[in-house]
Structure 1
Amino acid sequence: MTQRYSGIWPVAPTPFLPNGQVDAEGMKRVLDCMIDQGVDGICILANFSEQFLITDDERAALTRLSLEHVAGRVPVIVTISHFATPIVVDRAKFAKDLGADIVMMMPPYHGALLKGTPEQTFEQFRAVGEVGIPIMLQDAPLSGVDLPVPLLVKMAQEIEMLKLFKIECPQAAAKLRALIEEGGDSIEGPFDGEEAITLLADLDAGATGTMTSAMIPDLIGPIVQDFLAGKRQAAIDGYARVLPAVNHENRQCGFRAAKAAMVEGGVIASDFCRHPIPPLHPGTRAMLLELLRPLDPLVLRWGK
């Protein structure tokens, strides 16, 4: 890697059995498939892991299972977001004790109206920083919390363990560019997200990595590598090739896409999502696979 925090660090989906229980053996297969996809790191328990549909006990069990099974083969990021600062701190300590490399968190929010102020957001991140594990800040529309660049720069400069910034708000490239310009060396890992739907613009703005889904990281990772190596046209060509599939995932499927592809490729047995999440429409699923097959991603043949 060109620096410590770069490349592709996708989110692992959480597989469920058809009866709705967590599929522990399937989770191990998901992680093995991702490592075989050539990822630079793995994130668990994020929004694309359906963290809002699992219990606290399941979260703890998945953290332990994932870290034990990955066993240092790649770095692991554990998502710890919660509105309550003591709970976030406890989750950070738990992840660190089990050997996590990084924790990821959104600013404090709950629903549409309970949103942390800039001061409360700073205080929560500072409290987690005292745990002594690197932090990735997730700036995502889901939280509804405004995180202006001056606040992010202040946090980066004053919270030693805040190392990475996953920027996936509207106009992410403009925010990444401003963040890097104003934050300088304190912005160690500027990343984007949103399934790489804005990847080229974000790399052009200075992003060094991306956090996609686990659907086609074997195809997106080389785009990042080419761009960071100065092979601009190769990156553009590679991106143009995968963009229809990325667009369909981002705009039509969401986190259900990676699981549908993993079922098709024999990685997991079921793409069940807990209520109130509906299953993918058969037509939406069919078009996803139609767009993926010509790309020949590992996910479609890993378990066959």
Structure 2
Amino acid sequence: MALISRTTRGVYAIAPTPFLPDGAVDLESLRRLVDFYVDAGVDGLTLLGQMGEAPKLTHAEAVEIVATVLARTDLPVVVGVSAPGFSSMKALTDEVMALGAAGVMIGPPHTLRTDDQIVGYYSAAGQALGADVPIVVQDYPLTFSVVMSVPVLARIARETPSVVMLKHEDWPGLEKISALRAAQAAEEAPRLSILCGNGGLFLDLEMRRGADGAMTGYCFPELLVDVVALAAEGRAGEAHDLFDAHLPLIRYEQQPGTGLAVRKHILMRRGLLRSDTQRSPQRSLSPDERAEIDLLLNRLSHHDERARLP
């Protein structure tokens, strides 16, 4: 399995963790999801992220999920290994890398406050995991309450060579992408691969600013693949038009606290999940929310046949 690098590009779909109604991990649906992502044309997969309900899994379940996916596909797989301490982080990292993972993703603990603390944390993580383990830095201040400036990211990239990718989820963040690419062009910072999250909410503009692709879990990953491909081909107008058609549903799915319920519900409607169950504590959709999803899918289907669901 190829490792991710500072030149990695494309769409890495974040896979949700399927559960049966009783809360058990649903490996059958997971395999079906993997086949779907491959058919959709994604370039890689990301497991055990926030939308993968990683904190609700046991260590054994996390390893089983990664092993199941890696046995199903040759796509590069990034695994979220964020943990309170480096010992548990390293234990999971060692197992998934031995299975064939392409790299790991680490979000910063909310206790980090200064620039030196942030840089020092990723330096220590790189040392703990080993120089041969590629690391994705997850920059998501809305969730982690840790703000990483462009100079801080440049320092991390210089001081920890195993950090090869930024999962960009700062908001607003378009200027940040431009500043990172400008620093790279001026040789003030090493190049990092930049894959963007936030449900794809700004993907069309992020590609214009110099992003390399997406790492997110929108329920129509085909849209992410199309937008990235059209942008790479210089067909920006077509990318914007297709993206605009999906934007109301992307926006609805990106609601904090509700988004995973929306995403799992639609993936179930698409025939990929047997159940839209989340592990407790969970958020269920109300009848009004389900009706709004029907409305959004119906409107989207006028522009994209893939949204015409049972």
Deviation at 1:289, TM superposition (A): 3.5
Which of 15, 20, 24 pairs up with 2:18? 15
Which of 268, 274, 296 pairs up with 1:269? 274
Residue aligning to 1:203: 207
In the alignment, the residues of structure 2 paired with residue 54 and residue 291 of structure 1 have an alpha-carbon distance, to the nearest angstrom, of: 32
Counterpart mapping for 1:25-44 below 5 A? 25-44=28-47
Residue aligning to 1:242: 246
Residue aligning to 2:121: 121
Residue aligning to 2:3: none
Q: 1:280 to 1:7 in 2, by over 3 A?
A: same
Following TM superposition, where does structure 1 have runs of at least 4 consecutive aligned residues deviating by more than 6 angstroms? none
In the alignment, the residues of structure 2 paired with residue 134 and residue 37 of structure 1 have an alpha-carbon distance, to the nearest angstrom, of: 25
Deviation at 1:4, TM superposition (A): 4.5
Q: Percent identity?
A: 27
Q: 1:167 to 1:288 in 2, by over 3 A?
A: same
Aligned 8 A contact 2:200 2:218 in 1:
no
Residue aligning to 2:176: 175
Structure 1 residues 244-288: Cα deviation after superposition (integer angstroms, max 9, x where no partner): 111111127312222111211221110011222221222222322
- Please give the secondary structure, in 2, of the residue aligned with 1:175: helix
Amino acid at match of 2:177: L
In the alignment, the residues of structure 1 paired with residue 93 and residue 244 of structure 2 have an alpha-carbon distance, to the nearest angstrom, of: 38
Aligned 8 A contact 1:166 1:190 in 2:
yes
Amino acid at match of 1:115: L
Counterpart mapping for 1:251-262 below 5 A? 251=255, 253-262=258-267
Deviation at 1:128, TM superposition (A): 5.1
In the alignment, the residues of structure 2 paired with residue 259 and residue 139 of structure 1 have an alpha-carbon distance, to the nearest angstrom, of: 24
In the alignment, the residues of structure 1 paired with residue 294 and residue 63 of structure 2 have an alpha-carbon distance, to the nearest angstrom, of: 33
Structure 1 residues 120-178: Cα deviation after superposition (integer angstroms, max 9, x where no partner): 42333322562412221110121112212111111112222211101111211111111
TM superposition score normalised by structure 1? 0.89
In the alignment, the residues of structure 2 paired with residue 181 and residue 97 of structure 1 have an alpha-carbon distance, to the nearest angstrom, of: 37
Tell me, which stretches of 5 or more residues in structure 1 are unaligned?
none
Q: 1:187 to 1:280 in 2, by over 3 A?
A: farther
In the alignment, the residues of structure 2 paired with residue 30 and residue 54 of structure 1 have an alpha-carbon distance, to the nearest angstrom, of: 19
Amino acid at match of 1:199: L
Deviation at 1:240, TM superposition (A): 1.0
In the alignment, the residues of structure 1 paired with residue 235 and residue 91 of structure 2 have an alpha-carbon distance, to the nearest angstrom, of: 43
Deviation at 1:299, TM superposition (A): 9.6
In the alignment, the residues of structure 1 paired with residue 175 and residue 64 of structure 2 have an alpha-carbon distance, to the nearest angstrom, of: 38
Amino acid at match of 2:246: V
Deviation at 1:76, TM superposition (A): 0.8
Amino acid at match of 2:269: E
Q: Does 1:297 align with 2:306?
A: yes
- Please give the secondary structure, in 2, of the residue aligned with 1:10: strand
Counterpart mapping for 1:10-159 below 5 A? 10-70=13-73, 72=74, 74-109=75-110, 114-115=111-112, 117-127=117-127, 130-140=130-140, 141-159=142-160
Deviation at 1:86, TM superposition (A): 2.3
Q: Does 1:165 align with 2:158?
A: no
In the alignment, the residues of structure 1 paired with residue 52 and residue 96 of structure 2 have an alpha-carbon distance, to the nearest angstrom, of: 16
In the alignment, the residues of structure 2 paired with residue 128 and residue 182 of structure 1 have an alpha-carbon distance, to the nearest angstrom, of: 28
Aligned 8 A contact 2:108 2:118 in 1:
no
Structure 1 residues 14-54: Cα deviation after superposition (integer angstroms, max 9, x where no partner): 11101111111111111111111111111011001111222
Amino acid at match of 2:211: A
Amino acid at match of 1:146: V
Amino acid at match of 1:39: V
In the alignment, the residues of structure 2 paired with residue 130 and residue 151 of structure 1 have an alpha-carbon distance, to the nearest angstrom, of: 21
- RMSD, aligned α-carbons: 2.1
TM superposition score normalised by structure 2? 0.87
